[in-house]
Amino acid sequence: MAPAAVTGFLASPTVHTALIVGGFVAVITGIVGVFTVVRGQSFAGHALADLGAVGGSGAFLIGLSQVWGFVGAGIIAALLMESIGVRRLQGRDVATGVVFAFGMGVTALFLYWGTTVGGSSNAAVSVLFGSLFVIDPAVIPVVVGLSVLALVVVVVCYRWLLVESVDRDLAAARGVPVRLTGVLFLVALALAVELSSLTIGAILSTGLLIGPAATALLVTRRFGRAVLLSAGLALAITWAGCLVSYESYYWTGRQGNWPVSFCIVALIFLVYLGVRLGAALGRRHAAAHAGARPAAPRPLKAGV
């Protein structure tokens, strides 16, 4: 079954578009993800996904391409967050929770209007859970251009982001333009998150942002290697997810495919879990062989 099916997979134009768009998005999201995790801005990534969904759903209503809806809303949200001060936002869970819930509420309203007025019942699934297999090939140049733009921003800011991850004043003392770096990174983050929203949906996009990065950080203590590994993992998982989704048509007795977003997010989860377990077992193994430290939990200190 497999060879013939794989031939079909590789011959499908829909799959071609999915592999190209998904591939570019995966690489840039994997790269930006490592910086996001190290800077502790996963929260900002999630916020940008929620607020970008307003644009993604709004685009349906006014007949604009979804990608511009996501990216436009994401960039505006990023600049607003910067002007308010991301660092201040992070401490205020309640207020920000209300703002983001409002964002999702507006998304729900737009999607409802889209369904009743435009008659497009796919909009909700597409905005919230992605549309990798129904993407118009015409958006390929847009996706490639925006991915390259985000990559250029990250490369220019590479060392600035590293010093700033140690300490903000330290970075300022080294001559890093800290304010500019913060703005540029948020824009790169918005681009990565919104492009992922386009492929695997606004709700799941944080998974692609954080999952491969967190997995890579389990494996290596070198920043540069973590970035390359995360990008490679995100790419491999996205492509494997496309294949699994395509093949699942045959496994389910031709009842329909498993959604590609599900396949990608499930693979991200399984790979993370596997690497985490492998790392734990490796440490146990090393400890047992070294003989210096028993694998059993350390005894409590006397008097505790």
Partner 1 sequence: MKARRAMVMPGGAGTAEAREPAAGAVLVARDIHVALAGRSILDGVDLTVGAGEFVGLIGANGAGKTTLLRVLLGVLSPGSGEVMRPDGAGLLTDARHGRGVGYLPQKVALDPEAPLRARDVVALGLDGGRPGLRLRGRAAMRERVDETLRAVGAAEFGDRRVGELSGGQQQRVLLAHALISDPALLLLDEPLANLDPASAHDIVALLDRLRHTRPVAIVMTAHDMNLLLPVMDRVVYLAGGRAATGAPAEVVRGDVLTRLYGRPISVIHAKGRVLVIAGDDAAPADEVHHDTAFGSTGGQGRP
Written in H, E and C, the secondary structure of 124-188 is: HHHHHHCCHHHCCHHHHHHHHHHHHHHHHHHHHHHHHHHHHHHCHHHHHHCCCCHHHHHHHHHHH
* Residues near 294 by beta carbon (within 8 Å), at least 6 away in sequence: 287, 288
As measured in angstroms, the least distance from the Cβ of 216 to partner 1 is 8
61 by Cβ neighbours in 10 Å (0-12 / 13-18 / 19+) ranks as middle
Length of the chain: 304
Contact with partner 1 (CB under 8 A) among 136, 169, 279, 282: 169
Contact with partner 1 (CB under 8 A) among 163, 208, 231, 244: 163
> Tokens standing for 287?
């400890």
Q: Does 153 bind partner 1 (CB under 8 A)?
A: no
d(CA 252, CA 20): 26
Site residues for partner 1, 265-294, by CB under 8 A, read none
Contact with partner 1 (CB under 8 A) among 160, 239, 262, 272: 160
As measured in angstroms, the least distance from the Cβ of 101 to partner 1 is 29
Contact with partner 1 (CB under 8 A) among 9, 68, 113, 223: 223
Q: Does 90 bind partner 1 (CB under 8 A)?
A: no
Contact with partner 1 (CB under 8 A) among 59, 176, 187, 268: 176
| Helix, coil or strand: residue 110 | helix
First CA to last CA across the chain, in angstroms?
62
d(CA 282, CA 69): 46
Size of the site for partner 1 (CB under 8 A): 29
- Each residue 224-263 as x (binds partner 1 by CB under 8 A) or -, in order, gives -xx-------------------------------------
Contact with partner 1 (CB under 8 A) among 217, 244, 263, 267: 217
As measured in angstroms, the least distance from the Cβ of 171 to partner 1 is 7
Q: Does 80 bind partner 1 (CB under 8 A)?
A: no
d(CA 184, CA 188): 6
Comparing CB distances to partner 1, the nearer of 102 and 158 is 158
Residue 203 neighbours by CB distance under 10 Å? 19
Nearest to 188 by CA among 147, 143, 217: 147
Comparing CB distances to partner 1, the nearer of 176 and 244 is 176
d(CA 80, CA 161): 20
| Helix, coil or strand: residue 300 | coil
| Helix, coil or strand: residue 46 | helix
Comparing CB distances to partner 1, the nearer of 225 and 283 is 225
Comparing CB distances to partner 1, the nearer of 65 and 220 is 220
Contact with partner 1 (CB under 8 A) among 221, 289, 298, 301: 221
Q: Where are the beta strands (DSSP E) in the chain?
A: none
Stretch that binds partner 1, among 23-31, 96-104, 157-165, 195-203 (CB under 8 A): 157-165
Q: Which residues are near partner 1 by CB under 8 A?
A: 34, 38, 40, 155-160, 162-163, 165-167, 169-176, 217, 220-223, 225-226
